[in-house]
Amino acid sequence: MRTRTVYFDNAATTQMRDAVVEAMVDVMSNNYGNASSSHSLGRSSKTLIERSRKTIASYLNVSAGEIVFTSGGTEADNLVLRSAVRDLGIVHIITSRIEHHAVLHTVEQLSKEYGIRYDFVNVNADGSIDYAHLEALLNASKRTLVSLMHVNNEIGNLLDIKRVADLCKEYDAIFHSDAVQSIGHYNMDLQDIPVDFLAASAHKFHGPKGVGFAFVRKNSGLKPLIFGGEQERGLRAGTESVHNIVGLETAVKLAYDNLEADSEKVKGIKSYFIEKLSKDIPGVVFNGRSADMDNSSYTTVNVCLPVPPSKSAMLLFQLDLKGIACSKGSACQSGSSQSSHVLAEILDEEALQKPSIRFSFSIYNTKEEVDYVIEVLKDFV
């Protein structure tokens, strides 16, 4: 029987802040008009949407017109990649084998539909991008889009996003970044970082599921993915989910207004977890750069435990029985029998036979929870 619940799967989704829930309930109760309607209730909803757009834009140092609301990061990735090939003349995409499948599967499909060429930039043994290889690929390319994520969702590795953006500008390539794991967790001045497109999702930083946005640089030429109406300046048809958009705005505001204190707290929990795990379970290995506090997200640790293959299949089940929520990798792949494509790229066959677990933290976690998880892991190992 479970004695407690510990939620260490914040890279999959996060608990909503109370203030976000309250803001959404208020909108659902009092601002239920269709934002496309011309009467006062419709105008009231439209005002909330445009206020949200301005708020989010202000934290990224961009103009409000460059924020396009979507159902989340996957839609934002698809909007950018599909339009780039279909409408912007892109014939070559450079990405990596450790991207989220929202990017990888879209690129594969675009190759089938449009015959575009795509290349994978080399990934080093620690999961970092080989920047020299990226530059070589860019140097040999024309009409190219680069799509590389800012924070890897499984191992937490940080991309030097400004370096890549500057390289793309130098070689006249378009740069898109899946920033789903970084928006709300890292300051992003998009005047300083010349990225062309970026994807974000509210539920990764204590906002609601089902809403996110694409940053679309002014005069990009992007065309809509969904047709049927003139919402979102014609880029995204469909009646706007006003309560979700206000929830997104509230989550962005709270994330950035409290970023320094919140990030320090989560960094402390991650550091404590690494220290305790290293001490109490000899032989544990940290995948990628996830134990490097300077080069990985402060929210994520990915560990390979010294457990024989015969025992590894039961680990997540045993953790769940003890009330511990964590994951093997991306939640989007949890129903798949295949192992992590990210770890398959950086681990050898022997390491892949051992259980690798992603633990990801938030402001709602405590060091006492870390102690409990470590004790459960010790018993299992």
The residues that are catalytic are 332
The β-bridge relationship of strands 324-325 and 197-201 is unpaired
Q: What amino acid occupies position 61?
A: N
248/243 Cα distance (integer angstroms): 9
Q: Which residues contact 307 (CB under 8 A, 6 or more apart)?
A: 315, 354, 355, 380, 381
R_g (Cα) of the chain, nearest Å: 21
